[in-house]
Amino acid sequence: MSTATEKEDNDTLSNLPPFYDNLHKTYITSLASKIDKPTSYEGAVMEHLRMSGVYWSITALSLIRSPQEVDELMGLTTTPTTSQDDKRPSIVDWVFACYDKDSGGFGGNIGHDGHLLYTLSALQILAIANKLDDERLNVEKVSQFIAQLQQPDGSFAGDGWGEIDTRFSYCALSALAILQKLPSPEETDGIVDVKKAAEYVASCKNFDGGFGCVPGAESHAGQIFCCVGALSIAQSLHLLDADLLSWWLAERQCDSGGLNGRPEKQADVCYSWWILSALSILGKVPWISTDKLGGFILQCQDEEDGGIADRPGNMPDVFHTFFGIAGLSLIGYLNRVRIDGEEDEEERRVYRKIDPVYALPTDVVERLGLSGQIMSRDVGKSKEEDEINERLKMYCVLKDKDEKKGLS
């Protein structure tokens, strides 16, 4: 028997726009020509972080298109482009052109210094392209680039200039895992000290259960994903307070259904990924309304040109397009909503799922044999969690009633 809440959610879904699958594909693939123009807006703002932009684009396409179609759309091939072909170099060729031989890492664009952020993006692109065995990838040198950035306290700098941030802890552990070079937490003579890396991340935990960029810094949803993801890869989720952190994350859902990054901020599509991925790892996705969140993301689509914006009515960009699609993937939403107005079940596309730990399609994660710790509500505190869930539901009901009274 369906509840009044379920009926209300279904009524809400029927009034939402469809998922504009084909428009998003067109939007993403059109960005390449715009970014190539140095005088264009897209070219100017993406110049320093193009590696991440390519990762966002390819991963978004990978979730809504088959691997074969992604290969065709993005030129994922190791065959060198000849002048006779008169074609664009493949994405793989471009990635290797961004390799910084001096440092051993990858830069955000050709000629840029190596950095952990862009090294991870480069490896994620190569993983999707199934080109991690390319002879141009010097696994040992890239691994050493990452390892030398670990500090005595277990933290990681982003590059040789020394900025410390928990984002870099996640990037380092994720990149080493992709390279099959990550030691176990028990190893004391590995290329990096995973146990110490996890302990540093845990030292960034705040009284509210969240995490900041360094010890004592304000809790922020983006940093929380990085910390939870790093602890998951390090098999060290026991170092966080799952219930307290999950409450903080659940509190980020706004009246619009969207999620914000910290208290008193507006909802933003990108947090659909940062918060959902963390809740997925913690086994607490039911603590928020995924239907309302899915509706918020769909309303942020550009119905004319494709792409997804930070919030309804704003201009789309590839960053929010990726995180919006990733959020819909995490909650299994894409296979439940209308696609470009299609109503026939047989016409619905089968979408690839995204892994909440590695931010890669799950089939890629399985192919590489990557592992990450995921909490299950069926283990340990199931009765206590059920009680917390009931209190959370009651809180949401009372909150909705108060809001309706205020509007009447």
Distance CA 386, CA 159 (A): 44
105 burial (CB, 10 Å; 0-12 / 13-18 / 19+) is buried
- Is 271 a catalytic site residue? yes
Q: 24, 18, 26: which is closest to 342 by C-alpha?
A: 18
Q: Where are the alpha helices (DSSP H) in 283-381?
A: 290-299, 318-330, 362-368
400 is catalytic: no
170 is catalytic: no
Give the separation between CA 60 and CA 329, rounded to whole angstroms. 10
Active-site pick, 317, 351, 352, 358: 317
Of 204, 226, 270, 300, catalytic: 270
> Which of the following is catalytic: 25, 88, 265, 377?
265
Residue 265 is among the residues annotated as catalytic for this protein: yes
- Distance, in Å, from the CA atom of 35 to the CA atom of 27, rounded to the nearest integer, reads 13
Report the C-alpha dihedral over residues 390, 393, 395, 396, rounded to 10 degrees.
180
Please answer whether residues 55 and 95 qualify as being in contact, where contact means their C-beta atoms are separated by less than 8 angstroms.
no
Contact 108, 49 (CB under 8 A): yes
The b-or-e profile of 253-264 (16+ CB within 10 A means b, else e) is bbebbbbbbbee
From the candidates 220, 252, 284, 292, which is the catalytic residue? 220
Among the listed residues 99, 118, 200, 271, the single catalytic one is 271
Tokens of residue 365, six digits: 């994660």
Sequence-distant (≥ 6) Cβ neighbours of residue 39 within 8 angstroms: none
Catalytic residue among 88, 262, 311, 338: 262
Catalytic residue among 21, 165, 193, 310: 310
- Considering 9, 100, 165, 268, which one is annotated as catalytic? 268
Known catalytic membership, residue 381: no
> One of 99, 320, 352, 355 is an active-site residue; which one?
320
270 counts as catalytic: yes
DSSP label at 260? -
CB distance 29 to 321 below 8 Å: no
Q: Which residues are catalytic?
A: 220, 262, 265, 268, 270-271, 310, 317, 320
